[in-house]
Amino acid sequence: MRRTSTMIAVGTAATLAVAGAAGAAVLKGAGSASISAKPAPSKAGVAPTGGAGFAAKLAKNVGDPTKPGYADGDYVLEVESSPTPDGDIVGNILAAKFFIALTITAGKCTVHTNPHFATGGDMCGGTGQPLCATDAVGKCSGTIYQVAGTQLATTGQLPGDPFFGRFRLRTNPTPATCNTGDLCVGAGTCTPATTTCQSGPVVGVAGVAFAPFGF
């Protein structure tokens, strides 16, 4: 599973970086939203970046049905990708879904750091480990390191390499059991097995959409 985890971390980084290179990946659904990314070199004395930073823009719910937006609450960004740049998602037993949890409070969004690499996490802050990262509260942004940790360092691929994937934005009804860094491979083999990141309805999508979502 470690290899699969590394594979989807690369997919996440590449997909976000490609979105930035193209301008932005636009999510269609309950409200206007977009995701963009750009290179972000690491600096001495602070947490690594993983090579790229990303930001999401989610339209605020203003109570006007003609201008739909996203209400305050917990959401999860689902990044679905294949293990190779030209691989299929449909029917591929190695296709994987990587999840990034976020919260909207008072109309402002915060992307949550992977708990393994957040303050107090087990894979950061110790002897020989990288520094821990913190959420950029209210900025709806983060870095590849914040969501995927140091997994990219051993792969030989870089953010911006071609990758095939798509985004879905779901509500997150049980945030206690859905964290940034959770992933599912193939026909529902998930790490951790208790993750609920796929339980919320889809409220936005970018890339190739399937029925019955209808976007």
Which pLDDT does position 166 carry in this prediction? 76
| Pairing verdict, β 33-40 and 73-81 | unpaired
120 CA to centre of own chain: 21
pLDDT tens for 7-62 read 444 444 444 444 444 445 666 666 777 787 788 888 889 999 888 888 888 888 88
Which residues is 27 bridged to in the sheet?
33
pTM: 0.80
Say if residues 109 and 180 touch (Cβ distance below 8 Å). no
pLDDT tens for 140-154 read 999 989 998 876 555
For residues 37 and 47, what is the distance between their CA atoms, to the nearest angstrom? 18
Domain ranges (residues) in the chain: 2-206
